[in-house]
């Protein structure tokens, strides 16, 4: 029975995310794992958390295997093995949860169920910050973002507050099952009613943000490729001319000064040191009379005279002068660089067709007429503690550029968009998201998608936005709530492990 509960817990949590969208299951998933772990023998309790992770990852992110095979030049066994290793790593982390709950339950069911949400958030926090392999994709709290009201919690606690809420509810249900008293079940019923009222009705009380500016987000829609010939720009000159025309026409169609143009994360060999590409970019800025933000590969010479590549965003002013650069800081392991390359020799094939990128070091804030902005690139959107640094550094608008073409039409692009919505709320900023092939969207400071382009088309989105200068508690103080959970976990585990007085 415990094994079935652990497996059901992993499956329930995985099925709460897109494309399954069975989000109510998340609210009982952690509770199922608590039931599997409470009262288990110390030697066997880690098994139940391990089984949870072993089921969760392959069901929730199966697209990782597809990406590895299609674009990483890996055979099916190797790509499946990488997904399997991810599941094993996640399972080992979750095994600490089931071990902790089991040890606390030896003192009392109440202690175990109080510990559970704090320990759950602590482990999600650890999962986010693991060296090289930190991967906070689909943290538990994202299952609640369909509720506009509950989503606002993240402006105070970050996404971890929603994870805590879901885990705490599941633990309350588990507690009621474990002790079976009327009082416990009455607490479950009252809590459920309150959550339903807030989740379903509270959205009507969330303010509406009024935009005063328009940005022109261009969705380039280039097909994803493993390799690009040296004459790619010449071969696709007609398409690049079309994109330039779309961009310039968009900037000039409204009365008043042209608003800025944004292109996505580099979807093709957009090398800033290539004179042909740089000339095209400068011409778009000059002919449109608008600022132009574009994703590029930017090469810089290091002190030892070697040339290093960055995945970057550069901003050109209307004269074509480069006035802002952001170099992507958090690179994709096994996609943009190979961690521990000396030992993981097989992974070199994943970056065989491109040079390893060099990470940036600064959360750069740029200026355009009207206010300041910060740019983060693709994968960085899943790291809440990093994105909030832009607002803390003075960014009044957030921009994210991405190339989700690697994912195909799997669940990954919509999962990615789901997480980006939370970044807008955490910092209480308008957020503009420009992608190669979708989802390109404008998101208001409360998490609403107010404009969006269809996927897999080439076109332009008039994206409304505005500037804000206020700082949320999360933007100002970062992961204070997560650290509070770490402290509470340590205290509760101390009492759980403390020998009983004789």
Catalytic machinery residues: 265, 328, 378
SS3 content of the chain, % helix, strand, coil (to 5): 50, 15, 35
Among residues 79, 93, 3, the alpha carbon closest in space to that of 48 is found at: 3
Residue 499 burial by Cβ neighbours in a 10 Å radius (0-12, 13-18, 19+): exposed
Phi-psi region of 94 (alpha: psi -120 to 50; beta: other; left: phi over 0): alpha
Our CA angle for 291, 294, 299, nearest 5°, is: 120
142 vs 162: CA distance, rounded Å: 7
Three-class SS state of 494? helix
- Tokens standing for residue 286: 């000059």
- Tokens standing for residue 181: 């008293």
Q: Where are the alpha helices (DSSP H) in 309-431?
A: 384-392, 412-427
322 vs 74: CA distance, rounded Å: 39
Neighbours of 225 (CB within 10 A): 14
**b vs e for 399-420, b when ≥16 Cβ sit within 10 Å of the residue's Cβ?**
bbbbbbbbbeebbbbbbbbbbb
- Strands 322-327 and 365-368 turn out to be unpaired
């Amino acid at each position: 029975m415990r094994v079935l509960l652990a497996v059901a817990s992993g499956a329930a949590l995985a099925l709460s995310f897109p494309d399954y969208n069975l989000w109510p299951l998340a609210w009982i998933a952690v509770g199922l794992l608590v039931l599997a772990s409470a009262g288990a023998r110390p030697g066997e309790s880690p098994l139940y958390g391990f089984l949870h992770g072993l089921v969760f990852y392959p069901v929730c992110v199966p697209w990782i295997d597809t990406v590895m095979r299609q674009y990483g030049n890996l055979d099916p066994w190797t790509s499946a093995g990488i997904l399997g290793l991810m599941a094993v790593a996640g399972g080992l982390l979750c095994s600490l949860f089931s071990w902790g709950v089991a040890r606390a339950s030896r003192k009392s069911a109440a202690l175990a169920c109080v510990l559970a949400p704090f320990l759950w958030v602590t482990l999600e926090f650890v999962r986010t910050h693991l060296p090289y392999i930190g991967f906070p994709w689909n943290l538990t709290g994202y299952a609640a973002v369909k509720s506009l009201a509950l989503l606002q919690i993240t402006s105070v606690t970050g996404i971890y507050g929603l994870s805590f809420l879901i885990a705490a509810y599941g633990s309350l249900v588990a507690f009621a099952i474990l002790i079976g008293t009327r009082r416990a079940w009455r607490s479950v019923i009252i809590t459920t009613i309150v959550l339903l009222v807030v989740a379903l009705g509270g959205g009507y009380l969330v303010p509406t943000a009024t935009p005063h500016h328009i940005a022109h987000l261009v969705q380039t829609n280039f097909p994803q490729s493993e390799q690009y010939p040296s004459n790619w720009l010449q071969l696709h000159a007609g398409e690049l001319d079309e994109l330039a025309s779309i961009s310039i026409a968009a900037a000039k169609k409204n009365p008043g000064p042209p608003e800025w143009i944004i292109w996505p994360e580099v979807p093709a060999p957009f090398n800033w040191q290539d004179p042909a590409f740089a000339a095209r970019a400068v011409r778009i800025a000059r002919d449109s009379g608008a600022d132009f933000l574009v994703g590029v590969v930017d090469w810089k010479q290091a002190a030892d005279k070697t040339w290093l590549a960055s995945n970057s965003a550069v901003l050109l002013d209307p004269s074509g002068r480069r006035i802002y650069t952001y170099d992507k800081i958090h690179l994709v392991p096994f996609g943009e660089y190979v961690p521990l390359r000396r030992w993981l020799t097989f992974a070199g094939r994943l970056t065989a067709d491109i040079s390893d990128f060099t990470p940036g070091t600064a959360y750069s804030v740029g200026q355009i007429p009207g206010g300041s902005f910060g740019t983060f690139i693709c994968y960085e959107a899943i790291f809440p503690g990093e994105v909030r640094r832009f607002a803390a550094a003075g960014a009044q608008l957030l921009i994210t550029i991405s190339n989700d073409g690697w994912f195909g039409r799997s669940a990954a692009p919509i999962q990615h968009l789901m997480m980006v919505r939370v970044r807008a709320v955490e910092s209480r900023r308008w957020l503009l998201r420009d992608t190669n092939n979708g989802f390109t969207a404008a998101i208001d400071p409360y998490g609403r998608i107010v404009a969006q382009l269809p996927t897999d088309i080439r076109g332009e989105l008039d994206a409304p936005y505005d500037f804000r200068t206020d700082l949320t508690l999360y933007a100002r103080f970062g992961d204070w709530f997560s650290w509070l959970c770490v402290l509470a976990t340590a205290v509760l585990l101390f009492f759980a492990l403390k020998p009983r007085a004789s």
